[in-house]
A and B are shown apart, each in its own frame.
Chain A
Amino acid sequence: MNSFDVDILNLWYGDNHVLHDVSLGIPARRVTALIGPSGCGKSTFLKSLNRMLDLVEGVRIEGSVLFDGQDIYAPGVDVTTLRKNVGMVFQKANAFPMSIYDNIAYGPRIHGVRKRGELDELVERSLRDAALWDEVKDRLTKSALGLSGGQQQRLCIARALAVGPQVLLLDESTSALDPISTEKIEELVSRLKRDYTVVMVTHNMQQALRVSDYAAFFLLGDLVEFAPTERLFNSPGDRRTADYVSGRFG
């Protein structure tokens, strides 16, 4: 069962053709890592999955991205609902300058949850899921900006979980963090795949190897290889993949 089925996706920024005929199926309730050197299109690909590229001027997209069997680029698709189902965590933690509670409740409030009790419950559950509850339960009304970088990133994950997504997109979400915070987030991701499909862009090969079940290797806008992570790293089917994962370039 796939969360996403991407078929012959082509993408241009103006005249710059950044994704060439990308086709792959992203398995549900697994962690899929997108790897490749900078500028290979992996982040662009990730953002095409929840239409965050709509905000970028001059983007042209061809091909289809099916989420749960529905083309997310079809006319009439409700982007709000799509993004409710496909949450995203960015490279740099972007906690809003409001209280921890309000950060978590931000998404649910958009989607119509108003009752205090319901919100309280959601906030607690999301923070527990993001392994942050014990650290912040006594300071929910304090500003989220007082948290450490790693805590803020877990807060962003909790915030994304609070709207009840099926998929979580992580865009190099640990690259700005210290090793201990990174480890916490990796543990978290490994646990989250029981309930969620996780797609993560990472520059860290060890991380991809540690947490992902599948890996997709991008190079210069081409999807070179997509395979179970173990296989992609140990017996890659393509020379370029072998060179990259063994650290010969990148």
Chain B
Amino acid sequence: MESRASRRRRISGAMLHAFAFGSGAVVCLVLALIIGYIFVRGIPGITAELLTTQPSYIHDTIGVLPNILNTLYIVLVAMAVVIPLGVCAAVYLSEYATNRPLVRLISFAVETLTGIPSVVFGLVGMLFFIQMMGFSAGVLSGGLTLAVMVLPTIISNTLESLRAVPDAYREGALALGSGRWHMVRTVVLPNALDGIATGCILAVGRIVGESAALLYTAGFGIVLNGFMTALQSSSATLTVALYIYATERGELTVAFSVATILMVITMLLNLATHTVSSKLGEKEKEHE
């Protein structure tokens, strides 16, 4: 004979289970609907013409090649700046800095920067790179702004993976007479590489998906430009192009196609992150 208390426990347990299952199901459903909807509306619009041409008023056609390239350019500029800067900063903080309060202050600043809305980075980027430095709105200002935006991501990821390198390796290298930089280069950095790579891929993902900060700094140009020209001329990335086609041009099909392209890129980047970090996991197991 089941007691009342235990029956109540059984029923509340079953209800919680059902509720948890329901929440999970709703989340999956919403995700599937969004992804499905975007793909259904976007895929038909993806044609060779869309992917390989620029918009033409004469032929009345639309192509997003310039935007694909602009996205690529901005990723290149931002990463070219942020990887050396962020990795070096993290190496300094982890391997050289001896002033504890300073390290804590910088770590705190880095964490705070991570939380600032990107639109604020855009505003500051516009004021600094365009008004003060005198650059035009374009890939250069946009890329630099985004470099600042993802700098904390790179620093904190690199820092984390540097700190995961066992101190025994450092001691071993120093005991053989290695200088500090030689130790960092030959023992510490190679062992942190996977973590650093993961941080970089995450950063690329944020850059590809960013639009707010670019509205002010990279501009709305949808003309095909080479890299050098694009640096200093108005260049819309895929996300900005999505905004343009959806709100200003009323070309919803194109907007959905761009959304599809963005989603595919995001998925590929996620896949890359997983591959790199599962490789990292394997290596950690090896160390044990």
The chain B residue sitting closest to A156, CB to CB, is B172
Asked if A106 and B168 sit within 8 Å, CB to CB, the answer is no
Q: Which of A8-16, A82-90, A203-211, A230-238 contacts B (4 or more CB under 8 A)?
A: A82-90
The chain B residue sitting closest to A91, CB to CB, is B168
**A159 near B: Cβ within 8 Å?**
yes
Per-position 1/0 for B149-191, Cβ under 8 A of A: 0000000000000000010111111111111001000110011
A159 to B166, CA, bound (A): 18
Min C-beta distance of B27 to chain A, whole Å: 40
**A52 near B: Cβ within 8 Å?**
yes
Asked if B286 and A145 sit within 8 Å, CB to CB, the answer is yes
**A97 near B: Cβ within 8 Å?**
yes
- What is the size, in residues, of chain A's interface with B at 8 Å between Cβ atoms? 29
Sample of 10 more A-B contacts, CB < 8 Å, known A57-B98, A106-B173: A55-B170, A80-B177, A96-B169, A96-B172, A97-B283, A106-B176, A107-B177, A145-B286, A145-B287, A156-B172
The chain B residue sitting closest to A111, CB to CB, is B177
Per-position 1/0 for B271-288, Cβ under 8 A of A: 000000000000100110
The chain A residue sitting closest to B283, CB to CB, is A97
**A50 near B: Cβ within 8 Å?**
yes
A-B contacts, 18 listed (Cβ < 8 Å): A55-B174, A57-B98, A80-B179, A83-B174, A83-B176, A84-B176, A84-B177, A87-B176, A94-B168, A94-B171, A96-B173, A96-B187, A97-B286, A98-B190, A107-B178, A110-B176, A110-B182, A145-B286
**A160 near B: Cβ within 8 Å?**
yes
Min C-beta distance of B141 to chain A, whole Å: 42
State which of A55, A92, A160 has its C-beta within 8 Å of the C-beta of B176.
A160
Enumerate chain A residues within 8 angstroms of B176, measured Cβ to Cβ: 83-84, 87, 106-107, 110, 159-160, 163
Enumerate chain B residues within 8 angstroms of A80, measured Cβ to Cβ: 177-179
Min C-beta distance of B144 to chain A, whole Å: 36
A110 to B166, CA, bound (A): 21
- What are the 8 closest A-B residue pairs judged by CB atoms, nearest first? A94-B168, A107-B176, A83-B177, A94-B172, A88-B175, A80-B177, A84-B177, A110-B178
A160 to B172, CA, bound (A): 9
A194 to B234, CA, bound (A): 75
Per-position 1/0 for B77-117, Cβ under 8 A of A: 00000000000000000000010000000000000000000
The chain B residue sitting closest to A106, CB to CB, is B176
Enumerate chain A residues within 8 angstroms of B175, measured Cβ to Cβ: 50, 52, 83, 87-88, 90, 160
Interface residues of B in 170-215 (CB under 8 A from A): 170-179, 182, 186-187, 190-191
